[in-house]
Copies of this chain bind each other. A is one copy, B any other.
Amino acid sequence: MKSPRKTPLKLEDVKAESCTFDSRMKILHDLPFFKKISREEIHNVNNVFSDTKCNIDEVIYREGERSTRLYVIASGSVKLIKQNFDGKEVLIDILKQGEFFGNLDPFGETFYDETAIAQVSSCIMIINSEQFRTILEKYPAASLKVLDIMSKRLREAQEMIKLLSAYSVENRVAYTILKLGEKLGNPNKLGLLIQIPLSRYDIAGMTGTTPETTSRIISKFKEEGLISTGRKWTVIKNINRLKEKVKI
């Protein structure tokens, strides 16, 4: 059963970049909502952002804190977590380079309703919500792009509601791995490689189940040759047969 553990991951691959001026400019320029803005204007926008380096597992903000800031991932990845009354963690989303999180509302009298944690060492750019809205008011096309991103996230959240309401844990785990592959995967001779540390506990939090049940299902998928996993990576070996596990 046990195949020799050949990690497909060179550790250097996930070393965090520092937030250089050039990398920040490139990130901003590549953001879907700033695509049509000129280089000089991007330069101005860049000046409104500050940035910070976050180590792995570092908390960026905590559920319930006053919220006045919007964050953009310059490099790395971030997970958004909610907790229920007795401490069980629900993993709401995993965000990658170029995605934003935090608070879009202006004038701050609201609170973060999730906790943001760096999943790997990351560089995060920070802007005041109000300033971000000022930028959006200035560039209506950017506003619409942000709106599209929010629509997409809402669609995805509603799809997860459907899965949690009317699908088995096995369906949900398969769906979640496929979605992660789509979003974060890199094709590779072994299959589709997802290079993030993803514990059984994380997957359980994304699928509304327990680490034990997750482990059983992942073991089954491995036995069936659908995926293989290590502590810091997952490979989808047979995407079509994995898709058969999700009846949507």
- Listed in ascending order, the chain A residues whose CB lies under 8 Å from chain B are 82, 84-85, 88, 90, 92, 104-105, 113-114, 133, 136-138, 140-141, 143-144, 146-148, 150-151, 153-155, 157-162, 164-167, 205, 207-208, 247-248
A84 contact from B82, B84, B137, B166, Cβ within 8 A: B166
23 contacts between A and B (CB under 8 A): A82-B158, A84-B167, A84-B248, A88-B165, A88-B166, A90-B162, A90-B166, A92-B162, A104-B148, A113-B158, A114-B158, A136-B147, A137-B144, A140-B143, A143-B143, A147-B150, A150-B150, A150-B151, A154-B154, A164-B208, A165-B207, A165-B208, A166-B208
Q: Cβ of A136: which chain B residues have Cβ within 8 Å of it?
A: 140, 143-144, 147
Given A105-B151, A140-B140, A161-B208, 16 further pairs, Cβ under 8 A: A84-B166, A84-B247, A85-B247, A85-B248, A88-B165, A88-B166, A90-B165, A90-B166, A92-B158, A138-B140, A146-B147, A153-B154, A154-B157, A157-B161, A164-B164, A165-B207
Chain B residue with minimal CB distance to A87? B166
- Which residue of chain B is the closest to A153 with respect to CB atoms? B154
Shortest 9 CB-CB distances between A and B: which pairs? A165-B208, A157-B157, A164-B164, A84-B166, A85-B247, A143-B143, A150-B150, A137-B140, A90-B165
What is the CB-to-nearest-CB distance from A210 to chain B, in angstroms, rounded to a whole number?
11
Closest B residue to A106 by CB, please name it.
B144
Copies of this protein in the assembly total 2
Bound Cα distance from A39 to B113, whole angstroms: 37
- The distance from the CB of A192 to the nearest CB of chain B, in whole angstroms, is 24
Of listed A138, A141, A151, A158, residue having the most chain B CB within 10 A: A158
Q: Is the CB of A151 within 8 A of B104?
A: yes
Q: How long is the Cα–Cα vector from A86 to B64 in the complex, in angstroms?
A: 39
Chain B: which residue is nearest A165 at the CB level?
B208
| Contact present for B105 and A162 (CB under 8 Å) | no
Residues of B within 8 A of A114 (CB): 158
Tell whether, in the assembled complex, residue B161 and residue A160 are in contact, meaning their CB atoms are under 8 Å apart. yes
Complex interface: chain B residues within 8 A of A162 (CB): 82, 84, 90, 92
Q: Are A144 and B143 in contact (CB under 8 A)?
A: yes
- The distance from the CB of A112 to the nearest CB of chain B, in whole angstroms, is 10
